[in-house]
Amino acid sequence: MGPCRFGQGEQLERAYDEMMAEENFQKMQDILQELYGSDRRFQLLKPAYLPQLDEFICREEELDSVGDDIHQADVILMEGLMGQHLAVNLAKRFRKPMVAVGCCTSTDVTACLRAAGFEAYGCWLLEKSKALMEFLRAKKGIQKTRVLSVLKGDVISKGVESNIRDFDRITNQWGVTFKFVNAEDFLDEIGNLSPEEVETAEKTADALMAGAESCTVSRDDMIRSAKVYVAAKKMLDLFDCNAFTIPCFEICATRRLNEERYTFCLTHSLLKEEGIPSACESDYNSLLSMIVMMNLADNAPHMGNMHPALPHEIPESLAGKENLIRIYHSVSTRYMRGRKGTAAPYGIRSFTAGLWGATLRYDYEQDAGSGVTMVRFNPQGTKLLAARARIAEGFGYDSIGCDNGFLAEVEDMEEFFEAMCDCGHHYVWAYGDLTGALEKLGNMIGFETKIV
């Protein structure tokens, strides 16, 4: 009996320690199975039992006894009384993020590893590890993002001068990589689809038209827009990418879109519904914001132009409101509240006055009173502006072009506008207050979150 062992009689024997350790190890496995076993988003690898004797020595063969699974693992989760020494040595040996569980162990391990430059997290109960793993899973999804960016003339679109330009830093810090292709090659791909691919576009168009509340676009023009989506999917597969952006303005200026009668709006909406971040106007700030938002909330978000509502833009029904902002674009989706939910009702309207260029529309009027979180990165890609707002009134369901959105009330327009001047004008948004989650994820990845 002494400072490292309590009890009396058989409780002081090694056999008793081994019995209790085995029992606790089984309890841990049962809890882990209950937490993660049926959740397909996580893969629970074979748990490993590591003994530690009174010498407090971590031998290489003991550390290696965790098996080959350790090389496949994204995270090491460790629970154990007085397990600090093992946890620290495991993290340093295998260079994996450590999640330490238990009283004293959790805080001691994380403080030690963080001070040494390692990634570490603590939970005082095993049951609380699930919430933390949700963030680590989002972080992994962000790190695995590969952007297919269509170029025309320049990397930066002239419609978004506040764009992120330091792609190397984003890749080095975040893990997000970029593949650039010429606009001409992408446009040619749309016109050179195989008969089978054209059939896919036709089926996509027919299904969308059949499910819409109303549609003012002809079947022929719906198919043309659906061809863009099919071509984008084909090129994403070819280049092994899972995010997309394209410069609308620069390609529109060639007049080729006018001649071939399609736009990119429907493509952005459908890709997001499949979990593929897809941003308008080669806006990398919005794309990065979308990548963060979609991995955190698993939704198919809307993005749009945003600015303080001007006097002539405020309807009589909202007269007297002083903190109104206006956000609008033509890339609504059916799963803005979550991709696992039920598809929302939608309409189909054209982008152009010539009634071509299909866009999905959503009636935001039905969500008046709902809270939302709007986000955008600054041009350096180091700070995320996250604003809380409440939808006041929707507009643009029956209109054309980039004019489907809503008016929302923010807490302080002056503070919000000053923050916007550091970030730019396109914003991605989601339902609910995600500011706390965004701040926590930012701490994990390495970006600052400014909440207004």
First to last CA, the chain: 57
**What SS3 state is found at 240?**
coil
Instruction: Tell me the pairing of strands 404-410 and 278-279.
Output: unpaired
410 - beta bridge partners? Answer: 389
Consecutive 10-residue averages of pLDDT for the chain (452 residues): 79 87 92 93 91 79 84 92 86 94 91 96 93 96 97 90 95 95 96 97 98 97 98 98 96 92 97 97 97 96 96 93 95 96 96 96 97 97 97 96 96 95 96 96 95 94
pTM, whole model, 2 decimals?
A: 0.93
> Is 351:330 a contact under the CB 8 Å cutoff?
yes
Which residues lie closer than 8 Å to 329 by C-beta, 6 or more apart?
A: 280, 302, 303, 304, 305, 402, 404, 405
Q: Can you give the pLDDT at residue 55?
A: 77
Please classify residue 352 by burial: count the beta carbons closer than 10 Å to its beta carbon, then call 0-12 exposed, 13-18 middle and 19+ buried: middle
Q: How far apart are CA 374 and CA 391, in angstroms?
A: 11
Q: Can you give the pLDDT at residue 65?
A: 84
DSSP label of 320: T
Q: How far apart are CA 329 and CA 163, in angstroms?
A: 18
Please classify residue 248 by burial: count the beta carbons closer than 10 Å to its beta carbon, then call 0-12 exposed, 13-18 middle and 19+ buried: buried
Structure tokens at 289: 């914001």
Taking CA atoms, 4 is separated from 24, 85, 346, in Å, by 18, 14, 66
120 - beta bridge partners? Answer: 98
Q: How far apart are CA 438 and CA 377, in angstroms?
A: 12
> Is 428:286 a contact under the CB 8 Å cutoff?
yes
